[in-house]
């Protein structure tokens, strides 16, 4: 029981520390009513490069709404990562993050 709780705590810490980008917004929308689109700004782990990813199919009237949506997307990606680390099929992913390959 204690090893399972400790493992779940490690998974939570890894998911929280994952470098999944920073939520931003850009004024790229085609419709003048919704000019802001959510964008995730990624920086390489070693700091050598960066790129941005636009979340397709979404546009908002204000920058704050777009940034909020991008942050919700990043939070959702963290939950997906934690779920994958707890899935028995993802042994290589657990090993990549320094966890034991087999679930406790």
pLDDT per position as a tens digit, 69-100: 999 999 999 999 999 999 999 999 999 999 99
- Pairing relationship of beta strands 36-43 and 50-54 according to DSSP bridges: antiparallel
Whole-number Å distance between alpha carbons of 45 and 19: 7
Query: pTM higher than 0.85 for the full model?
Result: yes
As given in the structure block, the two tokens for residue 82 are 């934690």
**pLDDT tens-digit readout, 10-33:** 999 999 999 899 999 999 878 899
Q: Please state which of the ranges 3-12, 52-61, 78-87 shows the lowest mean pLDDT.
A: 3-12
Domain ranges of the chain: 19-96
Whole-number Å distance between alpha carbons of 101 and 90: 8
Whole-number Å distance between alpha carbons of 100 and 5: 14
Tracing tokens 């998911």 back to the chain, one arrives at 15
């Amino acid at each position: 029981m204690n090893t399972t709780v400790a493992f779940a705590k490690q998974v939570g810490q890894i998911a929280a520390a994952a470098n999944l980008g920073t939520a931003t917004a850009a004024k790229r929308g085609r419709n003048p009513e919704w000019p802001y689109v959510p964008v995730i700004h990624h920086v390489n782990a070693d700091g050598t490069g960066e790129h941005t990813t636009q979340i397709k199919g979404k546009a908002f009237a204000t920058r704050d709404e777009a940034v909020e949506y991008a942050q919700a997307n990043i939070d959702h990606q963290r939950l997906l990562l934690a779920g994958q680390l707890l899935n028995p099929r993802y042994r290589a992913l657990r090993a990549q993050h320094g966890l034991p390959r087999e679930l406790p």
